[in-house]
Amino acid sequence: MNKEILGILLIFGSTVLLAIPLGRYLATVYRGDTSWTDFLAPFERLLFRIGGIDANRGMTWQQHLVALLTINLVWFIWAMFVLCTQGSLPLNPDHNPSMTPDQAFNTAISFLVNCNLQHYSGESGVTYFSQVFCLMFLQFVTAATGLAACVVVFNALREGTTEKLGNFYNYFVKSITRILLPLSLAVALVLVFQGTPMNWAAKAPIVTVQGDSVSVSRGPAAALIGIKQIGTNGGGFFGVNSAHPLENPTYLTNAVENGAIILIPIAMALAFGYYLGRPKLGWMVFGVMTAGYLLLQVPTVALEMHGNPAIGHLGVDQSLGSMEGKEIRLGAPASALWAITTTVTSNGSVNAMHDSLTPLSGMNTLLGMMTNAFYGGVGVGFLNFFVFIIVAVFISGLMVGRTPEFLGKKIEAREMKIAIVIALLHPLLILTGTALSAHLYASNPTEYAGWLANPSYHGFSEMLYEFTSSAANNGSGFEGLGDNTPWWNISTGVVLLLARYLPIIGPVAIAGLLARKKYIPESAGTLRVDTATFGVMVFFVIWIIAALAFFPALALGPLAEHFTLY
Amino acid sequence: MKSQLISALRLTLAMMVLCCVLYPALVWAVAQAVPGQGAGVQVSRNGHVVGFANVGQKFDKPEYFNSRPSAADYHADASSGSNKGPSNPEYLAVVKARLDTFLVQNPGVKAADVPAELLTASGSGLDPHLSPQGALVQVPRVARARKLAAGRVRALVREQVEAGTLGPDQVNVLKLNLALDALGSNK
């Protein structure tokens, strides 16, 4: 067992070590400084020419948002078209059918917002054409959208006063050519060498050793899995995602995929500091995020290694930990590592079934999504964190009796209103959705009997998890939930939309407003934001706003279940 | 606005060529150079494909090492976990029944020697592996069913254990059972 603890320490440690140079590199690329990937510049100019785009034109924050939302609308229409007609499109050797409109709506939205909630099963619910030209395409471009929005905020926080915050298309294109594509390719190649399929043939019919006839699903999986992890998308090729032995065949692929989940989110926190020429600021953000992450990660590893006490009562050997929903080649510690890293980021791919986690581990995965800022999704994780920084600056300012300032800009009523609305939107969406569902279920349990695979407290957790995952744009699930029904497809679809675009629009608007303000040089009276003290302040703001709001709901679900078992 | 829309459309097309044609084509080209040519690593016996090395299959006969319980019943085109919560009474009754069945099929084995993996469904429903203990606890039954010496079968399991450098030690059930069949035929 000790070897497996060492294994997860190495996975996390080496990812952080890789994220440091990557953070520097991200800052260099987005600032437009000379970097070794400049050989791609002619190619990028070609892309701009095809798009008819002047990549040097500075845009205001409003122009950024118009560009972002317009191109997102194009992608949504494309995705709906592909998913509703996939049965008649090419690259469908298994003859899978087209989606129903409500399922297509949910899937299109869910991939458009970088969530990848999947109310279908990859083997039978989509075609290879959909996987590649719709889902994988969205995995690239939505990750790049998040990164570009984040850089707009970085830009606004530079010294001086400005209206122009760089060019959206420039950041968007470079995010793909210089960051997402090369990293995805690296992950995909490791997978291919370890046995993950990358072919276009239909299912392979075989007769097993015992004489059973089965069909083995395959397809262009390796390419999709690369960007699924790097872009914190999380939508798997096969139904059970990275628990599938073809999607995640060995301990090595597991280590690489798991590192890929948190690599860019960590690097982006550090890039914030490097971009502004204040590396300590990046380390402050990284420190707060890591503290929150470890607080969820450590107990989860311990609980999963300890096993399920109800099974322990049978007197069997549980030395490998809780094994329901887990794979032998990965083991309990690496599954616990993945469960938390995938939920603190908005990734949502799984290598073990979260529905079968022990209750408090399940709660920790929920908390990872409820805070949604301990690393967070590519780009958007930092945007969420930025909102909490603004709130913390304001509260700190009030505590010491000075005008709240962040990096030389006054935080005033307008910015605060936006920040608070965004911070409270998250609990509002999750708790309202869960309450409505619980009400529907409680008023007619026979009608909705298909919803819940587990009774009692755990059934409530399944509904809570679905809305939390949607609002956090995470995409993992307590998959026992029978979620391919109009209610779940449409309600979570709406939550997904609101929870993606408002938390992008809000921080970009705050940043745009701040950038216009007069720059006040730092003095002895300035609140220092790159210190541990301020870090502690941000940490508590996150816990008070994000975690405590959910305490009553958590008490009804995972906490109650825990006390029935232990 | 209109020019934005046209730019968005044209950029989308260009990105689609890059991300959905060139990128997968490159991964596919590299895959042609690895074992299995990107179609999955197949395992054959006497010229017949009997499975994929990485995809678990159902073994429930007494003369084979049995694979783990599976919510997908080892249908490799419909992977699935059980998604049962840890306190679900129906689920716990199923686990108890699996234990009772195992103890009946493996007389002489004590509950304390049965690893929980043999009573719980895997995440994918296609787990190709057992832990070393999960295989060793089945040795007496397999040896009896095949009229082989238990020591010989146990030695075979030990040969088949793949020690993990950092990950768990594991035994590929398909490879173990093929080796077991080979053992029977050259006695």
The tens digit of pLDDT for each residue in A8-66 reads: 999 999 999 999 999 999 999 999 999 999 999 999 999 999 999 999 999 999 999 99
Phi, psi (rounded to 5 degrees) for A297:
-75, -45
Phi, psi (rounded to 5 degrees) for A408:
85, 5
pLDDT score at B185: 58
Which of B116, B91, B85, B90 is closest to B102 using CA atoms?
Answer: B116
Please judge whether B6 and A7 are an interchain contact, meaning their C-beta atoms are less than 8 angstroms apart.
no
Task: Provide the b/e sequence for A67-77 (b: ≥16 CB within 10 Å).
Answer: bbebbbebbbe
Spatial separation of the C-alpha atoms in residues B133 and B141, rounded to whole Å:
14
- Token pair, residue A201, equals 């043939």
**Contact in structure between A354 and A241 (CB atoms under 8 Å):** no
Task: Provide the b/e sequence for B172-185 (b: ≥16 CB within 10 Å).
Answer: bbbbbbbebeeeee
- Determine the distance in angstroms separating the CA of B94 from the nearest CA of chain A, rounded to an integer: 11
Interface of A with B in 519-548 (CB under 8 A): none
Which of A204, A113, A148 is closest to A492 using CA atoms?
Answer: A113
- Token pair, residue A496, equals 């997904």
**Contact in structure between A510 and A391 (CB atoms under 8 Å):** no
pLDDT score at A267: 97
**pLDDT category of residue A1 using cuts at 50, 70 and 90:** low
The residues near A523 (Cβ < 8 Å, ≥ 6 apart) are none
pLDDT score at A133: 97
What number is the average pLDDT over the span B115-122?
A: 97
Over 60: is that where the pLDDT of A371 sits? Answer: yes
Percent of chain A with pLDDT strictly greater than 90: 89
A192–B contact, CB cutoff 8 A:
yes
**pLDDT category of residue A554 using cuts at 50, 70 and 90:** very high
**Contact in structure between A437 and A544 (CB atoms under 8 Å):** no
Q: How many residues does chain B have?
A: 187
- Token pair, residue A377, equals 């999704």
Spatial separation of the C-alpha atoms in residues A356 and A327, rounded to whole Å:
12
- Token pair, residue A162, equals 């400005």
| B-interface mutation test, from A327, A338, A358, A566, most B Cβ less than 10 A away | A327
Alpha carbon B38 to its chain's center: 19
Question: What residues does A214 pair with on adjacent strands?
Answer: A206
Interface of B with A in 127-186 (CB under 8 A): 127-131, 133-134, 164-168, 170, 174, 177-178, 181
| B-interface mutation test, from A324, A357, A478, A479, most B Cβ less than 10 A away | A324
| A-interface mutation test, from B21, B30, B45, B83, most A Cβ less than 10 A away | B83
The angle formed by the CA atoms of residues A69, A73 and A76, to the nearest 5 degrees, is 135
B contacts of A7 (beta carbons < 8 Å): 166-167
Spatial separation of the C-alpha atoms in residues B25 and B27, rounded to whole Å:
6
Over 60: is that where the pLDDT of B104 sits? Answer: yes
- Three-class SS of residue A406? strand
Please judge whether B84 and A355 are an interchain contact, meaning their C-beta atoms are less than 8 angstroms apart.
yes
The tens digit of pLDDT for each residue in A139-179 reads: 999 999 999 999 999 999 988 899 999 999 999 999 999 99
The tens digit of pLDDT for each residue in A65-80 reads: 999 999 999 999 999 9
* CA A396 to each of CA A412, A518, A536, A537: distance values in angstroms, whole numbers, following the listed order: 13, 21, 11, 8
Spatial separation of the C-alpha atoms in residues A138 and A82, rounded to whole Å:
12
Question: What residues does A525 pair with on adjacent strands?
Answer: none
Query: How many Cα atoms are found within 13 Å in the side-chain-facing hemisphere of B180?
Result: 31
Here the ipTM equals 0.95
Over 80: is that where the pLDDT of B187 sits? Answer: no
**Amino acid, res. B105:** Q
Which of A112, A115, A148 is closest to A471 using CA atoms?
Answer: A115
Please judge whether B27 and A188 are an interchain contact, meaning their C-beta atoms are less than 8 angstroms apart.
yes
- Three-class SS of residue A376? coil
What number is the average pLDDT over the span B126-138?
A: 97
The tens digit of pLDDT for each residue in A507-553 reads: 999 999 999 999 988 887 788 899 999 999 999 999 988 778 999 99
**pLDDT category of residue B133 using cuts at 50, 70 and 90:** very high
- Determine the distance in angstroms separating the CA of B177 from the nearest CA of chain A, rounded to an integer: 8
Percent of chain A with pLDDT strictly greater than 70: 100
Which of A285, A517, A470 is closest to A388 using CA atoms?
Answer: A285
Alpha carbon B150 to its chain's center: 24
Spatial separation of the C-alpha atoms in residues A121 and A116, rounded to whole Å:
12
B contacts of A251 (beta carbons < 8 Å): 164-168
Query: How many Cα atoms are found within 13 Å in the side-chain-facing hemisphere of A131?
Result: 30
- Determine the distance in angstroms separating the CA of B178 from the nearest CA of chain A, rounded to an integer: 8
| A-interface mutation test, from B79, B92, B98, B173, most A Cβ less than 10 A away | B79
**Contact in structure between A240 and B81 (CB atoms under 8 Å):** yes
Please judge whether A195 and B95 are an interchain contact, meaning their C-beta atoms are less than 8 angstroms apart.
no
The tens digit of pLDDT for each residue in B162-183 reads: 998 899 999 999 999 999 999 8
Residue of B nearest to A477 (CA): B83
The tens digit of pLDDT for each residue in A334-359 reads: 999 999 999 999 999 999 999 999 99
Please judge whether B12 and A71 are an interchain contact, meaning their C-beta atoms are less than 8 angstroms apart.
yes
The tens digit of pLDDT for each residue in A411-442 reads: 999 999 999 999 999 999 999 999 999 999 99
What number is the average pLDDT over the span A478-491?
A: 90
The residues near A450 (Cβ < 8 Å, ≥ 6 apart) are A482, A485
- Determine the distance in angstroms separating the CA of B151 from the nearest CA of chain A, rounded to an integer: 23
- Token pair, residue A459, equals 């059934």
The chain-wide mean pLDDT, for chain B, equals 94
The residues near A42 (Cβ < 8 Å, ≥ 6 apart) are none
Q: How many residues does chain A have?
A: 566
**Could you tell me the residue ranges of all domains in chain B?**
1-38, 40-185
B76–A contact, CB cutoff 8 A:
yes
Q: Do the bridges between strand B129-130 and strand B48-52 make them parallel or antiparallel, or are there none, so unpaired?
A: unpaired
pLDDT score at A546: 78
Phi, psi (rounded to 5 degrees) for B17:
-60, -45
